[in-house]
Structure 1
């Protein structure tokens, strides 16, 4: 039975799963959830995802939500297919987990609320808080200085091979320019790294919206 992805085709977390499905060459059916109509708050959706958030997958009856958990599951199940995105070696895997923690604590914690303040609030007709924009921008800029040090020594965040930790940055990183922030192009090693991962065909397949491949 083909894997099913339930999400909003342009949502950040849905595209985070989508890019990994393409990297792993996993055929999938995409079921778009209309957030504007509140379909993610319907009783049927809540029965599968109790927080009412996208995305979740249905893998032959196995339901899993949270984008980072989903991508780890996909890598584990399809480890011998497509791009290897979590190293098998113990120490390299530990460095991957370190990089994954860096993304969530030092990037997503600032990039996501920054994009929300400028982009998502505007789409909902809400007022942007300039003080918050300034705060998140300054904090993210400071964190990216550490990124630049790491990436001066290696090609990707966990070493010289791309991993899930790098791909996790794509959805919100790609939206920073729409928020008026070009931080990912201001430091040489960060710029080289981000241009590398955004040029991957798997990201090209989902950056403008997730679509079924099966």
Structure 2
């Protein structure tokens, strides 16, 4: 049975990083589109699989996994011998990977979300953006990125010199910040700019942006 990804075809958010992982690992899958506007994610059928009423989740021959980072970890380990090695197996290298993944979750993600909720969230709801608050959130994110610039001055990627799942995690919401005209990449240091350019020019990401999330041939 082919893997089923339940989510939208837009490449942003958790749906996007799962799609990147699937592309990097060349895992065939079927997209089962969830119509968020019609609140399909709040139906009893969906809630039986994803109790928080969110997307995405995967159905791997009856095995259900939700939360995008957990999905990515599961698939990266299941298909460890296929495509790039996204989770190191060496103990010390894996510790560095887990460290980078924890930094993304505890430092990067909350800072990105503050910017997005003030700018994009309020704009979508027709509310007035608090420009003073937004400027503060942008500066907070920039300060996080300046620490990244120091780290990336010593290594190519966030977990070392090899591309890992920790790098993919950073593609969850940050592209939305950039697309909303908020430049925190080029103003946070040359190492951040170099790293970010490498992420957004990877073939898997470029294809996803051009085509959206689509089922792959089985």
TM-score range, shorter chain: over 0.9
* TM-score for both structures, normalised by structure 1: 0.95
The answer to whether residue 212 in structure 2 is matched with residue 213 in structure 1 is no
Q: Which runs of 5+ in 1 are unaligned?
A: none
Q: Write out aligned runs for 1:10-159 (5 A).
A: 10=10, 11-159=12-160
Instruction: Please list the CA deviations of residues 140-182 of structure 1 after superposition, one character each: whole Å capped at 9, or x if unmatched.
Output: 1111111000000110011000001111111322111233311
1:35 positional shift? 1.0
| Structure 1, 2-11 or 159-168: larger mean CA deviation | 2-11
1:7 match? 7
* TM-score for both structures, normalised by structure 2: 0.94
Instruction: Please list the CA deviations of residues 83-121 of structure 1 after superposition, one character each: whole Å capped at 9, or x if unmatched.
Output: 110111000000000000111111111112312321233
Distance 1:194 1:53 in 2: 28
Cα gap change, 1:34 to 1:132, in 2 (>3 Å) = farther
Name the SS of the counterpart of 1:183 in structure 2: coil
Instruction: Please list the CA deviations of residues 167-209 of structure 1 after superposition, one character each: whole Å capped at 9, or x if unmatched.
Output: 1111322111233311112210000000001111111122352
| Structure 1, 128-137 or 17-26: larger mean CA deviation | 128-137
Instruction: Please list the CA deviations of residues 49-71 of structure 1 after superposition, one character each: whole Å capped at 9, or x if unmatched.
Output: 00001100000000000000000
| Structure 1, 117-126 or 77-86: larger mean CA deviation | 117-126
Q: Write out aligned runs for 1:151-170 (5 A).
A: 151-170=152-171
Number of aligned positions between the proteins: 214
1:134 positional shift? 2.1
